[in-house]
Amino acid sequence: MKIRGWTAGLLAGALAAACYAQAPAKKGQLNVQKQAWGKLPDGTPVELYTLSNANGMKVAITTYGGAVVSLTAPDRNGKYADVVLGMDSVDGYLKPVPYFGALIGRYGNRIGHAQFVLDGKTYHVPRNDGDNSLHGGDRGFDKRVWAARETGVGLELTYVSKDGEEGYPGTLTAKVLYTVTPQNELRIEYNATTDRNTVVNLTNHTYFNLGGVGEGDILGHEVTIHADRFTPVDNGLIPTGELRAVEGTPFDFTKSTAIGARIGQADEQLQFGKGYDHNWVLNGSMRPAAEVYEPKSGRVMDVLTDQPGLQFYTGNFLDGTIHGKGGKAYGLRSAFCMETQHFPDSPNQPKFPTTELKPGQTYHTVTVYRFSAR
Ligand code: GLA
């Protein structure tokens, strides 16, 4: 977490980032269209906002879970196609779907044994992943209706999570600003404040297939991750606390490598994740985190973030039973996620960067997904 005014080093990093393609769109560069998108069973209305830039890139976001429903990106011939998994209607998101495109909170990723100690008190959060808590609990931020406001430069979504919701202390006000820039970037800026000491780790869970959604698996995508280390896990995907060198392992993506090149190796970590489902320790701060290239279409996605970690997940739990947009079946490894984040289980791992947020501090972090082709 980057707390405003924390240290001069971080401030310098933030300044570097500001010069580093992380500037939001300017007023008037973005077209935003709003449409009604159905209702929850209790009658709460849900909207769909479509953000488009002058190039023709379109990103549709629903107020249900703040989820990215569709995102178009150009191939090497300039042809735009939808490259993210999602559902056709809000009803689709009310079924058990694995966080398609959603905003994740209050704590993204896992908390071991579904409990943590803060200021000497033990907090219990929902056990919804074996013995552990995943992605904020039974009803995390992905299953809440966010309040939307068009700011002129983007779509601002707000969700107020009450003290004690899903077991977390403190009323947390989370604000997420989605922008589509003229450089074909989806920029996501997260802000949060609290009225009591709490923990927070927000992310977005978009599933990408740069070959086009529903167009086969992602094993041929070539991935670079700017990380020399990752956090190995136990069989419940909780970090052991070690920061292990990627060198000489199937986790070394410091040079561009196809996802499928080593995913089937007899490696204990790959077996625990049923493929890649791990957190990489990003090198340095305020920098490019990853690049993904899809050779057939030529599409490229760059990920930039100020976060310390990146969960690279290769859709190992998709099994073809969910039919998404246009009725397409989402099969095993038909998409990948790059969830920028703090390390999993940080509230229980004093050696990991802290995820605590106190009253008076502002949680603030930016992630950019940039699309191009070659
Ligand atoms: C995250 C987790 C995975 C899985 C997916 C959703 O990426 O790390 O283990 O839970 O969400 O299926």
Sign of CA dihedral 324, 328, 334, 335: negative
> How far is residue 334 CA from its own chain's centroid?
17
- Report residue 353 as tokens: 């960067």
Nearest-atom index, ligand 1, CA of 317: 12
> How far, in Å, CA of 166 to CA of 136, rounded?
7
> How far, in Å, CA of 224 to CA of 340, rounded?
15
- 8 Å CB contact between 71 and 58: yes
Q: Are strands 207-208 and 244-245 parallel, antiparallel or unpaired?
A: unpaired
Closest CA to 288 of 191, 209, 368: 368
Closest CA to 47 of 151, 147, 160: 147
Cβ contacts of 115 within 8 Å, gap of 6 or more: 122, 123, 124, 125
- Report residue 318 as tokens: 């998709």
Phi/psi at 62 (nearest 5 deg)?
-100, 150
Q: What is the pLDDT of residue 29?
A: 82
Active site residue 135: no
The residue whose C-alpha atom lies closest to atom 7 belonging to ligand 1 is 313
Longest dimension (CA), the chain: 58
> How far, in Å, CA of 210 to CA of 299, rounded?
6
Q: Does the C-beta of 340 come closer than 6 Å to ligand 1?
A: no
Distances (CA, A) of 245 to 11, 102, 225, 227, 261: 28, 31, 13, 9, 19
Active-site pick, 222, 291, 339, 342: 339
Active site residue 205: yes
- DSSP per-residue string spanning 327-344: G-B--TTS-EEEEEESPT
Q: Does the C-beta of 98 come closer than 6 Å to ligand 1?
A: yes
Cβ contacts of 171 within 8 Å, gap of 6 or more: 160, 161, 162, 163, 194, 195, 196
Q: What is the pLDDT of residue 3?
A: 46
Q: Does the C-beta of 206 come closer than 6 Å to ligand 1?
A: no
Question: Tokens 């004093």 map to which residue?
Answer: 350
Q: How far is the CA of 277 from the centre of ligand 1 (A)?
A: 7
- Report residue 349 as tokens: 């791992």
* DSSP code of residue 7: -
Q: Is the peptide bond before 196 cis (omega within 30 degrees of 0)?
A: no
Active-site pick, 135, 205, 221, 342: 205
Q: How far is the CA of 215 from the centre of ligand 1 (A)?
A: 21
Q: Does the C-beta of 142 come closer than 6 Å to ligand 1?
A: no
> How far is residue 48 CA from its own chain's centroid?
19
Q: What is the pLDDT of residue 286?
A: 59
The residue whose C-alpha atom lies closest to atom 6 belonging to ligand 1 is 98
For the chain, how big is the Rg over CA atoms in Å?
A: 19
Q: What is the pLDDT of residue 171?
A: 99
Q: Does the C-beta of 337 come closer than 6 Å to ligand 1?
A: yes
Closest CA to 324 of 188, 185, 215: 215
- DSSP per-residue string spanning 270-291: HHHHTS-EEEEEESSSSEEEEE
- DSSP per-residue string spanning 75-143: -TTS-EEE-B---SSHHHHHS----TTEEE-SB-SEEGGGEEEETTEEEE----BTTBEETTSTT-GGG
- Report residue 153 as tokens: 């430069």
Q: Does the C-beta of 311 come closer than 6 Å to ligand 1?
A: yes
Q: How far is the CA of 164 from the centre of ligand 1 (A)?
A: 24
Q: Does the C-beta of 317 come closer than 6 Å to ligand 1?
A: yes
* Ordered per-residue pLDDT tens for the chain, 374 residues: 444 433 333 333 443 444 344 566 676 689 999 999 999 999 999 999 999 999 999 999 999 999 999 999 999 999 999 999 999 999 999 999 999 999 999 999 999 999 999 999 999 999 999 999 999 999 999 999 999 999 999 999 999 999 999 999 999 999 999 999 999 999 999 999 999 999 999 999 999 999 999 889 999 999 999 999 999 999 999 999 999 999 999 999 999 999 999 999 999 999 999 999 999 999 976 579 999 999 999 999 999 999 999 999 999 999 999 999 999 999 999 999 999 999 999 999 999 999 999 999 999 999 999 999 99
Q: What is the pLDDT of residue 287?
A: 75
Q: How far is the CA of 369 from the centre of ligand 1 (A)?
A: 19
> How far, in Å, CA of 7 to CA of 354, rounded?
14
pTM (2 decimals)?
0.94
- Report residue 28 as tokens: 């008037």
